[in-house]
Amino acid sequence: MKITVIGTGYVGLVSGTCFAEMGNKVTCIDVDETKISKLKEGIIPIYEPGLEVMVAKNFERKTLNFSTKLSEHLDNCDIAFIAVGTPMGDDGSADLKYVLQVAKEIGQHMSTPLIVVDKSTVPVGTADKVRATINSELEKRGADIDFDVVSNPEFLKEGDAISDFMKPDRVVIGADREDTAETMRTLYSPFFRSGSARLIVMDVRSAEMTKYVANAMLATKISFMNEIANICELVGADVNDVRIGIGSDSRIGYSFIYPGAGYGGSCFPKDVKALHRTAKEYGFNAELIGSVEAVNDRQKLVIAKKVINRFGEDLSGKTFAIWGLSFKPDTDDMREAPAIYIIKELVSRGAKIKAYDPKAMHEAQECYLKGVENITYCNSKYEAIVDADAMILLTDWKEFRIPDFEELKTQLKEPVVFDGRNQYSDKMMKKHGFEYFQIGKQPLKG
Ligand SMILES: NC(=O)c1ccc[n+]([C@@H]2O[C@H](COP(=O)([O-])OP(=O)(O)OC[C@H]3O[C@@H](n4cnc5c(N)ncnc54)[C@H](O)[C@@H]3O)[C@@H](O)[C@H]2O)c1
Ligand SMILES: O=c1ccn([C@@H]2O[C@H](COP(=O)(O)OP(=O)(O)O[C@H]3O[C@H](CO)[C@@H](O)[C@H](O)[C@H]3O)[C@@H](O)[C@H]2O)c(=O)[nH]1
């Protein structure tokens, strides 16, 4: 099929590349000229394992192309995917300005029948707005061209994006017309080896809702466990054991019940807020969803509180080594990363920070921690710990899992570790003589 993907970010680039991998002819469009010219030179703007090789292969065999000109890539196109950002608006709702701008451009330039697919995460009712916007542009130029609007939310995770897309748990398609649904089934059939039981077709509004419900459910699991972790700590229980104890019940399961320094990223925080806001617009106070968000906001500062309890309210003269800045491992993405909040809190109390992340240093320096004083960016995790008063682990990158503990102990002024992702254990830390603070368990005194 001939496919145009509009918005070449995490979702657009991964989706476009994976569709190309399956033999479709794909053009990825973006308004960001620098991004597009870099992609044409084989430079990938994001860090996502496996993506660079797949982009290069498909670009070379001409199944994948990049452009800034949407108007040149709608003729005889079968499907146009909208994959632009839907950031949080001032009132917490999803800001649809990029989506509707794309819809407007599609209406202005389409010349042949087209299926327009919303892949961006958008509130219920957005497909109707996209349809109305396209119709209005067609009317303005007196054009009568058949088109349909489909919702096909994306469930990929950053860091695992290629495998999530190539081997999806499910693909959700919201289509109100059977011929459109059939085209979408054909597009996705190569991604499912044995039939299409996991290719779920429903009405458009239910598909739009499904995306928010999936993210809200996952975020709820995390906030629930973080709440439990805080209680465990107070009553003298170990949340790590409790997690295993409950996860073994197949009705609960092990995934997404890891307590930590709070969830971040470009999706959970904004999508939970947007769902809460949608409910409010319909006059309903979604209390549980509101609490999920509030618990997470509080959780982001739990590690900072532990540092303050240990070192005092005034942290001037103290230096802390931070291991991990990205919101999760295997990505350079720092959107809503707990590290931003924790570092700002410590710096505001006079602390100095020595930070290291395998991939997110540039994002931190140039964007998310830009202008924050007293941060030194280090070239390695070991450089960061030299003369620091304590090490604080905030992202569970594999390279932090089994560090050289003796080196860590020697370089730190005092052997103190705060673990925001429960990567180590009391047993391990006791062996090496550390004072060890983790989430959901009373501290191990040195
Ligand atoms: N990042 C994820 O892991 C993920 C996963 C599932 C769903 N989503 C959803 O997918 C959507 C996109 O997210 P993302 O993380 O890929 O965003 P992103 O910010 O990485 O990329 C969006 C891209 O769209 C481009 N753009 C904006 N306006 C445009 C226009 N008029 N024409 C062409 N390009 C335009 C931007 O320049 C940018 O490159 C969001 O709704 C998000 O919630 C994201
Ligand atoms: O048990 C867990 C699991 C995750 N997290 C945190 O939750 C956040 C989000 O993690 P993850 O879901 O792996 O990353 P995302 O790339 O944000 O992916 C989520 O958001 C995407 C955008 O909507 C969806 O497509 C995915 O299905 C959904 O998992 C991160 O800060 C993690 O550290 C925890 O604290 N505990």
- The interface pTM score, or ipTM, of the predicted complex is 0.98
Q: Which ligand is closest in space to the CA of residue 16?
A: 1
Was 211 annotated as part of a binding site?
yes
Alpha-carbon distances of 326 from 361, 369, 375, rounded to whole Å? 9, 12, 16
Q: Is 25 annotated as a binding residue?
A: no
267 is known as an active-site residue: yes
Q: Where would I find the beta strands (DSSP E) of 294-378?
A: 319-323, 352-356, 375-377
Tell me the ligand closest to 34's alpha carbon: 1
Nearest to 147 by CA among 83, 103, 208, 188: 103
Question: Which pLDDT value is given to residue 237?
Answer: 98
Q: How far apart are CA 421 and CA 433, in angstroms?
A: 20
Handedness of CA 332, 337, 341, 342 (dihedral sign): negative
**Residues 6+ away with beta carbon under 8 Å from 218:** 256, 268
Write b or e for each residue in 353-368: b if 16 or more Cβ atoms lie within 10 A of its Cβ, otherwise e.
Answer: bbbbbbbbbebbeeeb
Residue 196: predicted pLDDT: 66
156 lines ligand 2 (CB under 6 A): yes
- pLDDT tens, position by position, for the chain (446 residues)? 999 999 999 999 999 999 999 999 999 999 999 999 999 999 999 999 999 999 999 999 999 999 999 999 999 999 999 999 999 999 989 999 999 999 999 999 999 999 999 999 999 999 999 999 999 999 999 999 999 999 999 999 999 999 999 999 999 999 999 999 999 999 999 998 766 679 999 999 999 999 999 999 999 999 999 999 999 999 999 999 999 999 999 999 999 999 999 999 999 999 999 999 999 999 999 999 999 999 999 999 999 999 999 999 999 999 999 999 999 999 999 999 999 999 999 999 999 999 999 999 999 999 999 999 999 999 999 999 999 999 999 999 999 999 999 999 999 999 999 999 999 999 999 999 999 999 999 999 87
- Pick the catalytic residue from 77, 232, 267, 378: 267
Distance CA 67, CA 276 (A): 37
**What separation in Å is there between the alpha carbon of 155 and the centre of ligand 2?**
10
**SS3 at position 221:** helix
Distances (CA, A) of 242 to 90, 204, 250, 258, 420: 38, 40, 15, 11, 17
Nearest in space to 100 (alpha carbons), one of 144, 134, 143: 134
Whose CA is closest to atom 20 on ligand 2? 267
How many Å lie between the centroid of ligand 1 and the Cα of residue 80? 14
Domains of the chain: 2-202 (3.40.50.720), 212-297 (1.10.1040.10), 300-444 (3.40.50.720)
Closest C-alpha among 369, 375, 419, 378 to residue 397: 419
Give residue 263 CA to ligand 2 midpoint distance, Å: 7
Q: How far apart are CA 422 and CA 240, in angstroms?
A: 8
φ and ψ of 319, to 5 deg: -125, 135
Q: Are 7 and 84 in contact (CB under 8 A)?
A: yes
Q: Are strands 319-323 and 390-393 parallel, antiparallel or unpaired?
A: parallel
Distance 86 CA to ligand 1 centre (A): 7
Residue bearing tokens 């146009």: 80
- Return the best residue to mutate from 48, 218, 270 for the ligand 2 pocket (most ligand atoms within 8 A of CB): 218
